[in-house]
């Protein structure tokens, strides 16, 4: 007499792993699929299946290895086997069904396939389609599948899961920044600069001018401070002493990177501490540990979603508080306002891929430098972007070119736009006309 073999499954997304399981099960007898109901999937897995029960049943009934499909609960017990006159239950190695061993046969799962893997691939495919829009801007540029896969409901108080995520992200950011303390807040790097300027700066301040982003520091520091500005090329001419030296490590408006060791040496000789705007450099350049205080955001070299800003500093640097609630650093240290919860989660998904993503930025830059080596000035150029002595033109409508906040002759191309793929297409999608 032919045995009745039950294979229980949800089959929310039917794939080749299911087919192989059913094919092997058919060797033992007549296959009856015990198919989990929509309600049970929602109860146990917390989502509605992509295909409802009637359609999953229809598909399974059309498979030649299957003789019958019946509705079953999430867990199979002896009562279910008796109800459907089942001789043997076959399940994968993740079995948790409550039946005796003499009625159970365990098969190894098919490697590298599951409904969860397919869902993540579907999400990645959707993101890859959207990423056909090539952002040659300094950020936010492309969205990574890891950014979205890491999103979940979280909160900044009494949420142990978020506390664990935040702790891991902050330890990672500390390592990249070379700092002892990192304070996250919701907003842009500009906000972080203004808050940290109010907290840390005092006395005489020197701003090292390299372009728009360094020059705007003047607008972000407390007006009562004594301030002086010097061009980077004239730094050696300054003989005064200062309490703080301020600079933008990477000036994206000029595609220019300062020699941070040079600025640190100057600060040290003048008895000053070093404050840097690290938004264009964090995660992409070295030597951030030279700073005493720095500010940056989540969506450039850290490769997270926009919305998180960070203040990072050495533990021996003291700060002051002020009467402004939101611009008071302790408001954010003590989590008195809504934090960048989802941007932090997005970074959590990037941590293990960061070195690869950074390498993709470097590869994009090297590709542009090689193709347009007669139109570039390679000295003092950052990983983030490249200055080209010509007019940059997009070859298709889905390329977004960077428009710097300065009117510098030539073009600046940024290299965050293809971090989602090793297949760099930047050269095919732009062209340069000589000035």
Residue from 203, 17, 210 nearest 110 by CA: 17
- Note the pLDDT tens digit of each residue in 327-386: 999 999 999 999 999 999 999 999 999 999 999 999 999 999 888 888 876 678 999 999
Residues linked to residue 285 through DSSP beta bridges, in sequence order: none
Hunting for tokens 């005489």 — which residue is that? Answer: 204
pLDDT, tens only, 372-422: 888 876 678 999 999 988 888 888 888 888 888 876 788 999 999 888 788
Residue 407's contacts (CB-CB under 8 Å, 6 or more residues apart) are none
Q: Which residue has the tokens 């508080």?
A: 321
How high is the pLDDT of residue 273?
Answer: 98
Quick one: which of 74, 71, 68 has its CA closest to 96?
74
Q: How many residues does the chain have?
A: 435
Instruction: Label the pairing between strands 293-297 and 308-313.
Output: antiparallel
The pLDDT of 90-118, averaged and rounded, is: 85
- CA distances, 69 to each of 65, 293, 387 (Å): 11, 65, 64
Task: State how far the Cα of 91 lies from the Cα of 63, in Å rounded to an integer.
Answer: 18
pLDDT for residue 304: 96
Quick: pLDDT tens for 33-58: 999 999 999 998 888 999 999 999 99
Place of tokens 């533990």: 315
Residues near 223 by Cβ (< 8 Å), separated by ≥ 6? none
Q: Return the pLDDT at 143.
A: 86
Q: Residues 359, 364, 370, 374: what is their CA dihedral angle, to the nearest 10 degrees?
A: -130
User: Helix crossing, 341-348 with 160-177: angle to 10°?
Assistant: 70
Q: How far apart are CA 184 and CA 167, in angstroms?
A: 11
Q: What percent of the chain has pLDDT over 70?
A: 99
- Residue-wise pLDDT for 146-191, tens only, equals 999 999 999 999 999 999 999 999 999 999 999 999 999 999 999 9
- The pLDDT, as a whole number, for residue 409 is 82
Give me the mean pLDDT over the 256-265 stretch. Answer: 96
Contact call for residues 187 and 332 (beta carbons, < 8 A):
no
Taking 80 as the threshold, does the pLDDT of residue 435 lie above it? Answer: no
| Region 245-250 average pLDDT | 98
Residue 377's pLDDT is 67
Asked if residues 393 and 136 have their Cβ atoms less than 8 Å apart, the reply is: no
In the chain, the percentage of residues whose pLDDT exceeds 90 is: 70
Q: What is the pLDDT of residue 141?
A: 75
Segment 211-224, tens digit of pLDDT: 999 999 999 999 99
User: Strand pairing of 411-414 and 385-388?
Assistant: antiparallel
387 vs 257, 350, 400, 410, CA distance in Å? 11, 28, 16, 7
pLDDT computed for residue 426 by the predictor: 86
Residue 213 to residues 208, 231, 360: CA-CA distances in angstroms?
Answer: 11, 13, 25
**In the prediction, which pLDDT does 200 show?**
98
Specify burial of residue 71 (Cβ count, 10 A radius: 0-12, 13-18, 19+).
Answer: middle
- Residues 30 and 4: beta-carbon distance below 8 Å: yes
Report pLDDT for 404: 86
Query: What is the average pLDDT value for the chain, to the nearest integer?
Result: 92
The yes-or-no verdict on residue 10 having pLDDT over 70 is yes
**pLDDT at residue number 13:** 93
Sheet holding 30-36, edge to edge: 66-72, 30-36, 4-9, 88-92, 104-107
d(C-alpha 276, C-alpha 189), whole Å: 11
What would the mean pLDDT of 3-15 be, rounded to a whole number? 94
pLDDT of amino acid 179: 98
Domains of the chain: 4-113 (3.40.50.620), 131-142+353-434 (3.90.1150), 145-351 (3.40.640.10)
């Amino acid at each position: 007499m032919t045995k009745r073999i039950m294979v229980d499954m949800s089959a929310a997304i039917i794939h080749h792993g299911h087919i192989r399981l059913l094919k092997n099960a058919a060797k033992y007898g007549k296959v009856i699929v015990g198919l989990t109901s929509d309600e049970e999937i929602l109860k146990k897995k917390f989502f509605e299946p992509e295909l409802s029960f009637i359609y999953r049943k229809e598909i399974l009934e059309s498979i030649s290895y299957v003789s019958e499909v019946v509705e079953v609960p999430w867990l199979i017990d002896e009562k279910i086997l008796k109800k459907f006159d089942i001789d043997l239950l076959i399940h994968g190695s993740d079995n948790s069904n409550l039946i005796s061993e003499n009625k159970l046969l365990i098969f190894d799962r098919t490697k590298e396939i599951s409904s969860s893997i397919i869902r993540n691939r579907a999400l990645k495919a959707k993101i890859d389609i959207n990423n056909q829009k090539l952002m040659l801007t300094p950020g936010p540029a492309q969205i990574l599948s890891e950014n979205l896969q890491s999103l979940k409901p979280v909160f900044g108080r009494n949420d142990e899961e978020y506390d664990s995520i935040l702790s891991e992200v902050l330890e990672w950011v500390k390592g990249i920044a070379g700092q002892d303390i990192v304070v996250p807040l919701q907003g842009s790097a500009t906000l972080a600069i203004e808050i940290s300027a109010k907290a840390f700066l005092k006395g005489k301040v020197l701003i090292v001018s390299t372009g728009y982003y360094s020059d705007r520091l003047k607008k972000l520091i407390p007006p009562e401070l004594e301030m002086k500005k010097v061009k980077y090329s004239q730094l050696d001419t300054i003989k005064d002493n200062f309490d703080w030296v301020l600079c933008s490590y990477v000036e994206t408006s000029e595609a220019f990177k300062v020699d941070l060791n040079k600025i640190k040496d100057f600060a040290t000789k003048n008895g000053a501490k070093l404050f840097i705007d690290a938004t264009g450099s964090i995660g992409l350049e070295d030597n951030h540990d030279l700073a005493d205080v720095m500010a940056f955001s989540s969506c450039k070299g850290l490769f997270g979603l926009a919305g998180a800003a960070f203040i990072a500093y050495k533990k021996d640097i003291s700060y002051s508080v002020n009467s402004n609630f939101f611009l008071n650093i302790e408001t954010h240290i003590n989590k008195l306002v809504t934090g960048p919860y989802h941007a932090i989660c997005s970074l959590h998904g990037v941590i293990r891929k960061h070195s690869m993503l950074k390498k993709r930025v470097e590869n994009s830059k090297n590709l542009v430098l090689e193709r347009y080596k007669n139109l570039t000035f390679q000295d003092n150029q950052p990983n983030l972007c490249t200055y080209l002595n010509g007019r940059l033109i997009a070859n298709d409508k889905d390329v977004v070119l960077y428009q710097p906040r300065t009117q510098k002759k030539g073009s600046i191309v940024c290299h965050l736009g293809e971090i989602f793929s090793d297949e760099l297409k930047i050269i095919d999608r732009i062209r340069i006309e000589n000035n």
